[in-house]
Amino acid sequence: MEKAEYKEGIAAIGIDLGGTKTEAVLLSPDNTILFRGRKPTLREGGYEAVVLQVAEMVKEASAKLSPNIPYTVGIGIPGSIDSVTGLVRNANSTCLIGHPLQGDLERLLGHPVSVRNDADCFTLAECRAGAGQGFGLVFGVIMGTGCGGGICINGEVREGPHRIAGEWGHYSVDPNGAECYCGNRGCVETLISGSGVEEAFFREFGERLTMDEIVSRARRGEEHSVLAFDRFLDAFGRCLGGLISILDPDAVVLGGGLSNIDELYDAGSERVRRYAFHERITTPILKNALGDSAGVFGAAWIGQR
């Protein structure tokens, strides 16, 4: 294949390491897409298989560049890196937990690597090129299998001394709630993530339904799903309303599979306004504009810092 060429600057490789799929992008300095790839994540193979696959995808992308062209590598993961130990923590891809992902990738690639939470990557991408453009302080939310958050201030992601800024998903809001893999009970993630709602439904009604099924049955007026969906919207309002009271962001951008639930933007947002500490909350709660692509672009841009 012909090698990508351009005049000057540093190229950027981004990898979005998800629970089910891993995506790669190679961007030129002016953000032209030079290469994109997507593979199912080799989760069954455990940590070793996942790390090797990510390294292979980085090599595949970098092979599209002439050897003299410099590039950065950014990886977005569904978890965070402990600021002291450098080990992955609180990842809902649990095979990553406790491993020095950044160090292992750098050793395999012989190249510096930045590893960040996927919600940080999502928020940065939406602020630079999506629904968060033009807003000063943006809180980005990923609601999917898990639930995460990221804070972007004037185009820069806030990381914090413990590298946990925006880690809203593991804010414990219900001491009597479900156990979470992070060790707490009743985390935001157990209330408003797809897996959390599905588990709660099973505990209460003894039936295994997917989030999609719960939503569509609720829309048809089926009693149990109506109840579960109303609780979901109420928890969304309470958790996000509290967050808005603390951060008072200029905008909130929703991402992840659950961001396609239309009710979040009317009935859900109404609950947010009810719970936030102001009578006339006007904070825009916006659907993402980049869809599935936000994570991989954000990972590439995070790597450039």
C-alpha distances (whole Å) from 86 to each of 17, 112, 120, 223, 293 are 18, 14, 17, 47, 27
Q: Which is nearer to Zn ion, 195 or 260 (CB)?
A: 195
Query: CB of 170: closest distance to Zn ion in angstroms?
Result: 4
Q: Which is nearer to Zn ion, 182 or 253 (CB)?
A: 182
Query: CB of 119: closest distance to Zn ion in angstroms?
Result: 14
Q: Which is nearer to Zn ion, 12 or 165 (CB)?
A: 165
Residues near Zn ion, by CB under 5 A: 170, 180, 182, 184, 187
Q: Which of 178, 189, 117 is nearest to 147 (CA)?
A: 189
Q: Which is nearer to Zn ion, 185 or 224 (CB)?
A: 185
Q: Which is nearer to Zn ion, 184 or 216 (CB)?
A: 184
Angle between the 101-109 and 46-62 helix axes, to the nearest 10 degrees? Answer: 50
Collect all residues with Cβ–Cβ distance below 8 Å to 38 and sequence separation of at least 6. Answer: 21, 22, 23, 24
> What is the 3-state secondary structure of 265-282?
HCHHHHHHHHHCCCCCCC
Q: Which is nearer to Zn ion, 97 or 108 (CB)?
A: 97
Collect all residues with Cβ–Cβ distance below 8 Å to 107 and sequence separation of at least 6. Answer: none
Torsion of CA 264, 270, 276, 280, to 10 degrees: 130
Query: CB of 183: closest distance to Zn ion in angstroms?
Result: 7
Beta-strand pair 137-143/251-255:
parallel
**Structure-block tokens of residue 240:** 């996000």
Query: CB of 116: closest distance to Zn ion in angstroms?
Result: 19
Query: CB of 184: closest distance to Zn ion in angstroms?
Result: 5
Q: Which is nearer to Zn ion, 111 or 185 (CB)?
A: 185
